[in-house]
Chain A
Amino acid sequence: MDISFIDKRLEGIYSKVLNGSRLSKEDGIYIYETHDLIGLGQIANHVRRSLHANKAFYIYNQHLNYTNVCKNRCRFCAYARDRKEKGAYTWSIDEIEKRLLERIDEPVNELHIVGGLNEALTFDYFIALLKTVKKVRPKATIKAFTCVEIDYLSKLAKLSIKQTIQKLKQAGLEMMPGGGAEILNSRIHGELFPKKINHERWLEIVRAVHEAGIKTNATMLYGHIETIEERVDHLITLRQLQDETKGFSAFIPLAFHSENTKLTHIQSTTAVDDLKNVAAARLMLDNFDHIKAYWVMIGEKLAQVALSFGADDLDGTIIEERITHMAGAKSALGLTKEQMEDMIIKAGFEPVERDSFYNPINSS
């Protein structure tokens, strides 16, 4: 397909993409620098369509944030609380069961389970958590715990990462989300989340998880203090690891929301930046199958547009999103299956309800 670019420098990137050559760091930086948003979108859309044709995926899921008590207190987070702070909560296993049962009539295919690092919880709690979810929802996939939590759980269990993952796997863990990566860079780590595991550790854990046969997603939190170069380095780091493990399923760019965080002076990301991050991910991560437009963070309206800028997945229906809304997200708390399909069809794509591993669900 010929593309008539406004920014002629994109021709070089497009011909590399057509030849199947890998994009360099300089290409990545230029993707963020160009003002030819439509030209860039067309290249990303070409890749997206050659991988997934006209399909756009979504999942019927439920989020369980078992606690907001967290000892890390990252500066960009509006969700975490100290143990005795107002609004702090931790769900008991009974409470988790109750929350699952409240929605038991809904066709939930995935439980997305993440929480804070709460020193009051024991490793047994997490095993019981997984077993309870599996008991109540035997057919749904458990996608739980970021690498940050896995590191913490291994300390609670006094086990190696490998042994920890084995225990969790036996209790029902089937997949892991991609959170906690933020920006894989020591400068950002030092400034924004010094108490959280650093990027070497994050990569070490993700590698061990992949080696144990568990797929994970990968994310990037953008729009705070990171530079363009740091974003591109982040993407290239993920790409290198994916070459080795093939363990990443989807990449999800996460737009930073500053309300109620320690970084309220930072203005929200704009649509152009959000769309560029989707396109950059699709073009740089040539070994990732899926790029998600996470509607919770960029809004439903822009997520729909992002399907033409490289994204092939709108994530889930969710119903009860908590974390981003604490930081001022203006999106809905959840979307119905009908709303999700309507958005996709009106964007010119074919909706495919999927399970956690991108197998189509034949429901309705």
Chain B
Amino acid sequence: MDSLNKIIEKIDGNERIDINEGLTLFRKADLLTLANLANHKRFYHHPEKIVTYVVDRNINYTNICASGCRFCAFFVTHDMGNGYIISKKDLFDKIAETLDLGGTQILLQGGMHPDLEIDYYTDLLTCIKENFDIHIHGFSPPEIDFIAKKSSLSIAQTLSILKEAGLSSIPGGGAEILCDDIRQKVSPNKCSSEEWIEVMRQAHKQGMRSSATMMFGHIEKDFHIFEHMDKLRNLQDETHGFTAFIPWTFQPDNTKIAVKKKTSVEYLKVLAMSRIFFDNIDNIQASWVTQGDKIAQTALFFGANDMGSTMIEENVVASAGVDFMLSKEELTRLITKAGFEPCQRDCYYNLL
């Protein structure tokens, strides 16, 4: 228990812990010890009793994807016949509705469509920007990497072209677990962990902020979780471009990975560890989409200071058999009942 106390002392003294110390704490400390450390860190980073949320919509411009990840229940292949590319009318209707509902941004993500090149994406961004005043948070690193390769451009060139066309920030999706031994098994056709990091490095260098995510609870071991967080923390030291970290649990229904779903306690422990481990990322987001309202509210005491999005529309997790829905009223009620003041924010965590 001595080693545990030393680690706890380090955390109390606001010293950084390394992967091994993180792992020791994760394996040995009980749930509320981790919660207490994370809750103190939460108030260290955010002394005010505010919990933020964003009003936005996930728009999936296509469900056709060349990646074929084993954990995904959303994608279809080209020849399955039920693929789509969103029409401009549908796209505009969805954006107009988002703005009507007080939304400030759209999360634009697709599959990695084998036939689309950079012109499609620049046209998509340009036409949105010509018609609407809305923040576009779009294209996770695997998509950027895919577009670059498809159009024979460098990552930096691709990002710069997309930014010019109207892209403002990058979602942290497609990170899954940033360890290539895991990625080769669950998403062999997606960019490598180094390529993922490189997209984020370039985006941050060009002044675009991004979030960072982690999908755990499939085939990874606990040390992979810490290797993942360590890679993100190192990049953040270099760029300071990450706005938030969002861990969520793999949802196995309708996918090709047959594992038991992670339990709520396992989720809360990882969430708390992320708040403890990331001394350089401001915000930690709870995932009500994967955890439901009760655990998302509980998460506010396990390190999370943000409830994420009201998600006017969500398709990807819903395909994997999870259909929690929360209205803006219910989201703010949960925050208030937990003793916090709910505040709508923008993509950069500015209060609105």
User: Contact: A4 with B40, CB < 8 Å?
Assistant: yes
CA distance A270 to B30 in the complex (A): 24
The listed residue (A35, A298, A347) touching B265 by CB distance below 8 A is: A347
Whether A228 sits at the interface, judged by CB under 8 Å, is no
Could you tell me the distance in whole angstroms from the C-beta of A36 to the nearest C-beta in chain B? 8
User: Contact: B337 with A273, CB < 8 Å?
Assistant: yes
The listed residue (A39, A271, A272, A343) touching B263 by CB distance below 8 A is: A343
CA distance A191 to B32 in the complex (A): 39
* Residues of chain B lying within 8 A (CB to CB) of residue A35: 49, 338-339
The listed residue (A37, A270, A342) touching B334 by CB distance below 8 A is: A270
Whether B295 sits at the interface, judged by CB under 8 Å, is yes
* Residues of chain A lying within 8 A (CB to CB) of residue B264: 301-302, 304-305
* Residues of chain A lying within 8 A (CB to CB) of residue B292: 299, 301
User: Contact: A4 with B294, CB < 8 Å?
Assistant: no
Whether A42 sits at the interface, judged by CB under 8 Å, is yes
Q: A270-B337, A302-B264, A302-B294 are in contact. Are A6 and B31 (CB under 8 A)?
A: no
Tally of A-B residue pairs with Cβ under 8 A?
A: 87
* Residues of chain B lying within 8 A (CB to CB) of residue A336: none
A interface majority secondary structure: helix
* Residues of chain B lying within 8 A (CB to CB) of residue A304: 263-265
User: Contact: A275 with B339, CB < 8 Å?
Assistant: no
Q: What string of 1s and 0s marks CB contacts (under 8 Å) between A8-42 and chain B?
A: 00000000000000000000000000010111011
Whether A186 sits at the interface, judged by CB under 8 Å, is no
CA distance A275 to B301 in the complex (A): 12
* Residues of chain B lying within 8 A (CB to CB) of residue A41: 32, 35
Whether B46 sits at the interface, judged by CB under 8 Å, is no
Restricting to A329-351, which residues have a CB under 8 Å from any CB of B?
342-343, 346-348
B interface residues, tally (CB under 8 Å): 30
Whether B260 sits at the interface, judged by CB under 8 Å, is yes
Whether B151 sits at the interface, judged by CB under 8 Å, is no
User: Contact: B32 with A45, CB < 8 Å?
Assistant: yes
A interface residues, tally (CB under 8 Å): 30
* Residues of chain A lying within 8 A (CB to CB) of residue B263: 301, 304, 342-343, 346-347
User: Contact: A38 with B35, CB < 8 Å?
Assistant: yes
CA distance A181 to B296 in the complex (A): 31
The listed residue (A6, A270, A302, A309) touching B39 by CB distance below 8 A is: A6
* Residues of chain B lying within 8 A (CB to CB) of residue A6: 39-40, 43
CA distance A297 to B263 in the complex (A): 18
Could you tell me the distance in whole angstroms from the C-beta of B115 to the nearest C-beta in chain A? 42
User: Contact: B295 with A271, CB < 8 Å?
Assistant: yes
CA distance A37 to B263 in the complex (A): 20
Whether A163 sits at the interface, judged by CB under 8 Å, is no
Restricting to B238-287, which residues have a CB under 8 Å from any CB of A?
260, 263-266, 268
Whether B297 sits at the interface, judged by CB under 8 Å, is yes
User: Contact: B297 with A272, CB < 8 Å?
Assistant: yes
User: Contact: B295 with A38, CB < 8 Å?
Assistant: no
Could you tell me the distance in whole angstroms from the C-beta of A343 to the nearest C-beta in chain B? 6
CA distance A270 to B336 in the complex (A): 10
User: Contact: B294 with A299, CB < 8 Å?
Assistant: yes
Chain A CB within 10 A, most for which of B43, B292, B301, B339:
B301
Restricting to B321-352, which residues have a CB under 8 Å from any CB of A?
333-334, 337-339
CA distance A162 to B264 in the complex (A): 46
Q: A302-B264, A308-B31, A347-B265 are in contact. Are A270 and B294 (CB under 8 A)?
A: yes
Could you tell me the distance in whole angstroms from the C-beta of A133 to the nearest C-beta in chain B? 34
Could you tell me the distance in whole angstroms from the C-beta of A45 to the nearest C-beta in chain B? 5
Q: What string of 1s and 0s marks CB contacts (under 8 Å) between A49-82 and chain B?
A: 0000000000000000000000000000000000
CA distance A270 to B49 in the complex (A): 18
* Residues of chain B lying within 8 A (CB to CB) of residue A267: 333
List, sorted by A's number, 23 A–B pairs whose CB atoms are closer than 8 Å.
A4-B12, A4-B36, A6-B39, A37-B301, A37-B338, A41-B35, A42-B36, A270-B338, A271-B294, A271-B298, A299-B292, A301-B263, A301-B291, A301-B294, A302-B295, A304-B264, A305-B31, A305-B264, A343-B263, A346-B266, A347-B31, A348-B31, A348-B265
Which residues of B are interface residues toward A (Cβ below 8 A)? 12, 30-32, 35-36, 39-40, 43, 49, 260, 263-266, 268, 291-295, 297-298, 301-302, 333-334, 337-339
